Structure 1
Amino acid sequence: MTRFKPPGMMSSPSHRRSRHYRTGRVSFSRWKASFPFAGNWFLLPPAQPAEDLLEVEERMKDRVRILMDRYGILFRELLERESPLFRWGKVFRALRLMELSGEVLAGYFFQGIPGPQFMTPQTFQLLQSKFPEKVFWLNAADPASLCGVQIEAVRRRMPKRIASNHLVYHGTRLVATSQRNGRILTFSVPHDDPNLPEYLGFLRHLLGRQFQPLRRIIINTINNEAATGSPYLAALQNSFNAMSEGGNVILYRKMGSVNTSS
């Protein structure tokens, strides 16, 4: 035997590289198959430290203070229309803690509201004093309005919580409501009440306001009766240019009248 080999049997550099590549691919495949789970792997961000519990409680108390400034009294149904962080379930624990510290009072302050009610000692003292007998009106969608609160006593008296509805108060008494910009009027005072012209001030405002005043107000019914035959028509005629048309009463601004606002 000799050591002679045919040229084709000799290992060339390219042949050695190809064999090394195949060996490397096999090793990588074996290494990849050894993983228990398939998919992409990435580094998770570092865990955030837990919030300080005292800071969380103080934040909730601050939210209660905001709500107290807004409403004066807090109860479950009132907060149903608030954003999630300001609803009853989120602030109730803070209310109880603030009750223990004397910052708020808990009790049954108003009839017809089920469950606990909370208010500040300052608000409670205010309720003990006599309210001024001022006439004012507000939009049904105003934050101070109770329209839309799911309490039976409120739902029976209040119109829907939409911008075209209005409420008129004399002190603490609700004396009139308006729906659909005056189309449906409801008065809880007699037609000869001496304050009735003042109660109609919101209608004068709708006709005479600087921003987008109404050209006219069409009244369909007053106290669930046709407006044209209502005993309140005389007061409307004294305060506005009023005319009957098609069973409705149409009001126009009386020139020289003074506008009032809420």
Structure 2
Amino acid sequence: MFRSLSSHYKKGLSTRVQDSQGLLPVKKMDFFSLFWTAWTSSFTQDHILQAFKSCGVWPMNPDPVLKKFPPPTPQVPINPEFVQLKQVTSWKDLQKLFNQVVPNKSSKEAKCLASSLHFLSVQFELVSAENRGLRVSLLGKKKHKVKEAAKINKLALQAVAAEKRGVEKERRKKEKEEKVQKLAQKKRERAEAKLAQPPPKKRKQVSESRSNRSLKKQAVKQSGGRASGVGGVGTNLEPKPDPPPKASRSGRNISLPSKFR
């Protein structure tokens, strides 16, 4: 019934879209009209009675439901001797089994069966041996690949470490060269400054001449700026007296050396 309801609703919706040529959108207000039309078309008295009958509700009849679930196929009991026969793979065991099962071994069919069994057993042994060899080879190849991958990874790590060491060595070399250049620059600057300064004697003479000039200027300022006299008598410039001696914290006089006076 609900499948019929869904099909009727889809049919009404497609009819509505076709009639409007896709120009009018389907909104929420259109839902009830479409649903009610599908409901009245699906849930009729005949459909309801048919649904109850197909489910076995009314009239009560479980057969329609049970027919949908067929009984399982009975399994054939497994003979333990058959299981043992399936495990026979060697030609020796197959020949023994062949002698027990086949009564007339001289017939054409028995000989054909014996040759087929022999061929199949030999092929099975060959294939088994080949598979074992291939498995061993594949395992060895995988181990070799693992070793090669480990070796490649080790070489890559060594290359990265060597590159890092080279970069560090280059950086240290560059820093050392910069330090040497800075020291050489400082030495050149000190040498140039030393050459620019006058010798010690000349510096002493220059300082003495500067001090004498300063003393003369002070004496001229104290005497009025020039040497003048009254009645043809000139005034003699007296040297500036020495400053009073300095005293230490304990009260003792500090006398300067003669070269600093």
Q: TM-score range by the shorter chain?
A: under 0.3
The structure in which a higher percent of residues are strand is 1
Look at both structures and tell me which one has the larger radius of gyration over its CA atoms: 2
Question: What TM-score results when the alignment is normalised by the length of structure 1?
Answer: 0.24
Greater relative contact order structure (CA < 8 Å, 6+ sep)? 1
Decide which structure has greater helix share: 2
